[in-house]
Chains A and B, each alone.
Chain A
Amino acid sequence: MLWLYVHFPHLLLDHLRAHRSDDAPLVVAGSNGALVEQACPQAQAQGITPGMRLKTAISLAPELVPVEPDPEQADRVLEQQARWLYRYAARITLYPPDGLLAEASSLERLYGSAAAFWRSVAQALDERRLTYQIALGKTPLAARLCARQGTGERTTSEPHLNALVAALPLHALELDATTEKRLQRLGLSTLREVQQLPPAEVARRLTPETLAHIQRLQGERPDPQTPWEPPHLFREQVDFVREVEQSQGLLFPLQRILEELETDLRWRQEDTDTLSLMLRHPNQPPTRLRIRTAGPEHRAGAFLELIRLRLDQQPLSAPVRSLVLVVRRFLSRQAGTPTDLLGDGEDRAEAWQTLVSRLQARLGDQALHRLSPQADHRPERAWAATGMRSGTTTDRLVSPPRPLWLLRQPRPLSHAPTDWFSGPERISGGWWDGERVLRDYYIARLDTGQLAWVFRDVRDGWFIHGWYG
């Protein structure tokens, strides 16, 4: 079995860097401000190293941006990496806070060799501008330790891999401090020297756990891994080091997330029509936005356009500390059915969806509706406003002649009409649902020249209910 381990020396900083447009050096430093825990390459170039006092670091680089460590956030970022790695490997195990393990030998046939798999992963990591150390190993633990030590090599030859592991220094073996010290006192400095001791001696002189650890490292003891299951949702979060006050500032990171979403949807072979966007504010409940498209969509540009419209309509109520984009609804993509030779129909459908999405984003979902006739005798019930997504109703109900305008509320008739044209037509119904209607309808012309549909109801009142427009 071969395993590939990716170690991220400062994943959180890479994550924050991706959403920043400037190039200021970043470090992770504890809240009590004592020591630098992680430093990004820019900070390291200025002489800042992990373990340094934050005060010293700031005097080296005045524009330094310190970030507080947040284990929860680190786990989330790691999971984001696992999600794209899942496209390359089926069996992934998460090693929080900074490592991913992938089983490589079953992928040899797919990629040609484990080395080619390494290359693909490394390329994907480079594209995401992450800092990483990769190693291959015969056991999960061997791969992990080599990657953390940074001594991984792109080779699959067994003796070579064994030699790499054997060369690991004692402090890289992740032994507990007392064991490490005892081994040092024995005059040992690398794993090779420990391996040369008889196993029984190791167990007797040290602890049985130490022996188990070394055996797992060498593959002499099983080391089962729990594979990670990708969740069936897309969730991406951006945390801002400095709060964003203008909605314009959200669009830059959103674009990157939406591109990630587009890739994700392409891999899933799915579309979506609902995005949930949550903006977290410092001292306020978060703002939640639902962005809906008129039809299945996967293009980042289309989503971004809708979000831009929405943010234009709804200015930020408070500075934004972080934003979360979640997609829960996935629609399987349907093969296009081109209706004509030039594929014009396809374009039209797309243009239509784009237009409706744009209008709904700015005006709200309720602002647009379609009309459909309903089977009911009461004029106000004989039509319904239906949503833009609902299926089309093509059934042709046969209806008697009616006016083209229906008033939203019947209006009392104030002057006697000048001419009468037809009537009465009695409409009676609604006794079954409590909205009883008993009216006699006439067509009449008013002195203004308007042709009206008037009725007299059971209480002897006269009303205008429609205009013959």
Chain B
Amino acid sequence: MSELLDHLMQEASVWQGRRAASQHLSVEATGHPELDHSLGDSGWPRGALSECLLAHEGIGELQLALPLMRRVTERGQMVFWVNPPHTPYAPELNRQGVGLDQVVVVRTEDDGDLLWTLENCLRSPVTGLVMAWPGRLTARAIRRLQLAAEAGDNVCLLFRAEKEAMQSSPAALRLKASPVSDTALHLDILKRRGGWPGQSCAIRLGDRTGLPEATAAESVVAGPWQGAGA
């Protein structure tokens, strides 16, 4: 059997989808080796939409984009946060090495403004990364966004609710993020342009809390708060 396979490979009579994938897509490494590997040694697609679907904030989703944010701001390009659900905390971004001069937070009032803003940001040569929390979008709006993303050469990362996974999307990459532990995030690749979906991986979120990993739990001073709250 393997002889037959070797023969076919040498003759180059079999199309090898895996290799073709990374050739024509312009990509930007995610900075997480596990994720890059699962994506066929590529990364975030440039000039296309990427979606990250998650149930709640606070599971480490920003860690996903942090290496890219660091890299983009070092290059002097801008990072746009459009309609973030909470306040991006400046001291921590600063501590993580993200250049705050290159970070801009934009808030829009309606979908029309949001699409327009994303289009303008994505088209500008000063932009490096656009992150957006668009809420519910119609299929038409996503299509328009995809076209806007294609006009520029930037990474556009949309954070959307988990239930949107059922809706079809023209995004080039769709990831579903789910929490595993405090130091890891599980990612399912739902869709990947030029490649097969279905892979999954876990990325390490080493310094998310800034604590040495071994200190968890033991360092907490036990007290009356156990079971408090509820």
Contacts and interface: CB of A to CB of B under 8 A. Distances in A.
A402 B125 contact: no
Nearest to A379: B89
Contacts of B230: 414-416
B92 A450 contact: no
Contacts of A379: 89
Contact of A467 (B55, B86, B101, B211): B86
Place the interface of chain A in its size category.
35 or more
B101 A404 contact: no
A362 B117 CA distance: 9
A367 interface: yes
A388 interface: yes
A370 B89 contact: no
A368 interface: yes
B95 interface: yes
B107 interface: yes
Interface string A253-284: 00000000000000000000000000000000
A431 interface: no
Given A422-B216, A469-B63, A367 B106 contact: yes
Q: Name the residue in B126, B179, B221, B228 with the highest tally of chain A Cβ atoms < 10 Å from its Cβ.
A: B126
B229 A450 contact: no
Contacts of B95: 399, 401-402
Place the interface of chain B in its size category.
35 or more
Nearest to A420: B220
A201 to B, nearest CB: 81
B56 A448 contact: yes
B26 interface: no
**A interface SS class:** mixed
B124 A450 contact: no
A382 B90 contact: yes
Interface in A413-469: 413-417, 419-424, 442-443, 445, 448-452, 456, 462, 466-469
Contacts of A370: 100-101, 103-105
B87 A407 contact: yes
Contacts, number: 199
A467 B61 CA distance: 10
A467 B220 contact: no
A468 B207 CA distance: 11
Contacts of A419: 182, 216-217
A451 B93 contact: no
A452 to B, nearest CB: 6
B103 to A, nearest CB: 6
A370 B178 CA distance: 30
B88 A404 contact: yes
A393 interface: yes
Interface in A348-375: 348, 351-352, 354-355, 358-359, 362-363, 367-374
B229 A462 contact: yes
A394 interface: yes
B78 A352 contact: yes
A373 B90 contact: yes
B121 interface: yes
A347 B182 CA distance: 44
Contacts of A368: 104-106
Nearest to B97: A396
A443 B210 CA distance: 11
B208 interface: yes
Contacts of A417: 229
A207 interface: no
A449 B108 contact: no
A383 B89 contact: yes
Interface in B38-95: 55-63, 76, 78, 84-95
B199 interface: no
A417 to B, nearest CB: 8
Nearest to B211: A422
Contacts of B93: 371, 404
Contacts of B84: 405
B88 to A, nearest CB: 6
Which 5 pairs show the lowest CB-CB distances between chains A and B? A401-B210, A467-B58, A449-B179, A450-B58, A383-B90
Interface of A: 347-348, 351-352, 354-355, 358-359, 362-363, 367-374, 379, 382-385, 388, 392-394, 396-397, 399-408, 413-417, 419-424, 442-443, 445, 448-452, 456, 462, 466-469
Given A372-B100, A373-B94, A422-B215, 4 more contacts: A359-B121, A383-B91, A415-B229, A469-B63
12 contacts: A351-B125, A359-B106, A363-B108, A369-B104, A392-B101, A394-B101, A408-B87, A421-B209, A421-B216, A443-B209, A445-B182, A449-B59
